[in-house]
Structure 1
Amino acid sequence: MATVRTRRAREALTGLAFAAPAVAVFAVFMFWPLIQVFWISLQQTRGFGLAKWVGLQNYQEILSDKIFWTALWNTALYTAISVPLCLVAGLAAALLLNKRMPARGLIRAIYYLPAVISGVSSALIGAWLFNEDIGLVNRILDVVGLGPVPWQSEGVPALLSLVAISLWIGLGFNMVVYLAALQGIPREVFEAARCDGASRWATLRRITIPQLGPTTFFLIVIGIINSFQVFDIVYVMTGGGPGNSTTMLVTYAYSAGFEQRQQGYASAIGVVLYLIVLVMTIVQWRVNKRRDVA
């Protein structure tokens, strides 16, 4: 009995030893900064000098801040458009590149390339593509007779340009994850479906998509988190304009903290953003868990 306990204790210690570096990194770079942000959100500070304790005053100001609610709406709208598009495009690319075709490896690399380029570089490319005066997109639209689009001077086109660049960036990651999941589905399942006379559409709808359920859930969660944290492409391409039509929660928090020097208020926005993402993730996890049980 003692030998069994000793072995289990050693296994537990071994597991803790392997997990310790990751736990330490998480605690130092994630958990502790989160505590600090919450602490700063209860103060009024400009980053220099003594901070003034204000309690929940920053959160009360959020409730009456029209720009915050505009930023929240813009972020939710951006997420609602970009996440489904990235999922569909990534799945379509994965289904296409999962087949044998010439230069398949090269095409996969081209699709995935934007995912390894820095966000600022991708945003600079997007800013050039969607430039109203010299941008390639408006040049093409002008050639086909549709006329130029005011990508920087009107709210809806500016938001659509952000969605287009985020789709270009996120497609490769979704494609790779879906490819890995597709290759994990037993081939016997598809062979049985073909023997039963199932069409390609029926096979996709009744076999492939259900088998990819956990992968889709993972990508939805990651996509929502990334969309609510979008900053670089917005900051570079539109700066939150025109007006506040493309201001997102993170860009507004950045503006409040580093441009207006209201770091307590910016921290409160960050805490609210964290809680929103946390609640949405928990809800999605519960819905997915119920679906799996059913």
Structure 2
Amino acid sequence: MAELAKNTEIITPDADKVTPPWKEAWLSFCHNKLALLGLGIVIFFIIIAILAPVIAPYGFREQDLAKRLLAPSSEHWFGTDDFGRDIFSRILYGARISLWVGFFAVLGSVIFGTILGIVAGYYGRWIDTIISRIFDIMLAFPSILLAIAVVAILGPSLQNALIAIAIINIPNFGRLVRAKVLSVKQEEYIMAARAVGMKDSRILLHHILPNSMTPIIVQSTLAIATAIIEAAALGFLGLGAQAPTPEWGKMLADSQRYLVQAPWTLFFPGLAIMLTVLGFNLIGDGLRDVLDPKMKQ
């Protein structure tokens, strides 16, 4: 028995070879070519938004009525609009606005939706009933109509459009987080934390919230794409950004009269919206494939 014990080797895992979860998720994400394409598109638009003052050959307010509705050329790559403004320059500056609205509108939705969803799912009873019914009422209205109603109350402006987009997306995050919390709070480690007298605030911050982040991250990425479309829709209706702000939806609205005469005035802003939304959707699909255990199987 002594010789057997000596010859027996205890196999222990090599700590250096253990792949951290975040690294494993990144490697899986990198194997998704469509997700990488989406990431490349988003990074491209972020770069041109940051460097717009450097890249743009003209100012977005700069007018030249003698050059109105010029076709794309070496002087004006994307042509000019009805005021003789360079469309390429306006699209570069417009990237700042669309990305800004998308990120911050979704950030507001995530913060308030997560708080309400956690409270409803964790405490339940009448609190859950009230919050859930509020979500149901908000979701009963088409999102764009609800956004129009909010902007009509607050007044047409880019900031109010951002607030409206944030408000209409709160129920989506709230219901998603609530469903996740209802599942997580039944886990044994949550029951153990309650048994040892851990405060609810500590349980929510250190256990419930971290284990509910996966669906929030995925939904946030997809919601940015939706927010960009909604901002463009409000701008198209004249309820979002106001002239001469180079917001893509507003550019479409201002150019719709020249669809036949100067189709490039609509084509390039529409293409910018389409590519940006496509990029975020591809990233969201890639994150879902990586972070969702069901998709992994």
The bucket for the TM-score relative to the shorter chain is 0.5 to 0.7
Q: CA deviation at 1:67?
A: 2.2
* Structure 2 partner of 1:269: 269
CA drift at 1:103:
6.8
| In 2, Cα distance between equivalents of 1:291 and 1:219 | 12
Number of the residue aligned with 1:221? 221
1:237 Cα offset (Å): 5.8
SS of equivalent residue, structure 2 residue 209 = helix
Q: CA deviation at 1:88?
A: 0.8
By relative contact order (CA 8 Å, sep 6+), the higher-ranking structure is 1
2-structure distance, mates of 1:166, 1:79: 9
Change beyond 3 A, Cα 1:108–1:236? farther
Structure 1: any 5+ residue segments left out of the alignment?
1-53, 132-151, 153-157
Does the C-alpha gap of structure 1 residues 68 and 61 become closer, same or farther in structure 2, counting only changes over 3 Å? same
1:70 and 2:93 matched: yes
Match of 1:165 in 2: 164
Following superposition, the deviation at residue 291 of structure 1 comes to 8.3
Aligned to 2:138: 114
Shift of 1:84: 0.9
After superposition, residues 83-232 of structure 1 pair within 5 angstroms as 83-98=106-121, 99-102=123-126, 104-131=128-155, 152=156, 158-187=157-186, 188-230=188-230, 231-232=232-233
2: CA distance, partners of 1:205 / 1:274: 37
For residues 197 and 114 of structure 1, what CA distance do their matches in structure 2 show?
37
C-alpha change, 1:116 and 1:251, in structure 2 (3 Å) is farther
Instruction: Between 177-186 and 119-128, report the one with greater CA deviation.
Output: 119-128
Paired residue secondary structure (2:78): helix
Q: Per-residue deviation at 1:170?
A: 1.0
Distance 1:239 1:201, change over 3 A: closer
User: Are the structure 2 counterparts of residues 103 and 184 from structure 1 closer, same or farther at C-alpha, using a change threshold of 3 Å?
Assistant: closer
**Structure 2 vs 1, CA of residues 209 and 244 (structure 1 numbering), >3 Å: closer, same or farther?**
farther
Give the CA deviation at 1:169.
Answer: 1.0
Is the Cα–Cα contact under 8 Å of residues 117 and 174 in structure 2 kept in the other structure?
yes
CA change 1:104–1:249 in 2 (3 A) is: same
Number of aligned residue pairs: give it. 212
CA-atom RMSD in angstroms: 3.6
Aligned to 2:239: 238
Give me the whole-angstrom Cα distance separating, in 1, the residues matched to 2:282 and 2:144: 31
Contact 1:114 1:168 survives alignment (8 Å)? no
Q: How many Å apart are 1:222 and its aligned residue?
A: 1.9
Identity %: 10
Q: List gaps (5 residues or longer) in structure 2.
A: 1-70, 80-85
Match for 2:77: what amino acid? Q
Task: Read off the aligned partner of 1:232 and give its amino acid letter.
Answer: A
- Give the letter aligned to residue 269 of structure 1: P
Provide, for residues 169-225 of structure 1, a one-character-per-residue CA deviation record: whole Å limited to 9, x for no partner.
111121111111212225123112223454434322332222112211221122111
Query: Are the equivalent residues in 1 in contact too, given 2:108–2:166 (CA < 8 A)?
Result: yes
Question: C-alpha displacement at 1:78, in angstroms?
Answer: 0.8
Deviation at 1:124, TM superposition (A): 4.0
SS of the equivalent of 1:96 reads helix
User: Taking structure 2 as the reference length, what is the TM-score of the superposition?
Assistant: 0.58
User: Which residue pairs with 2:258 in the alignment?
Assistant: 260
Could you tell me which amino acid in structure 2 is paired with residue 114 of structure 1?
A: M
2:97–2:247 Cα contact (<8 Å) kept: yes
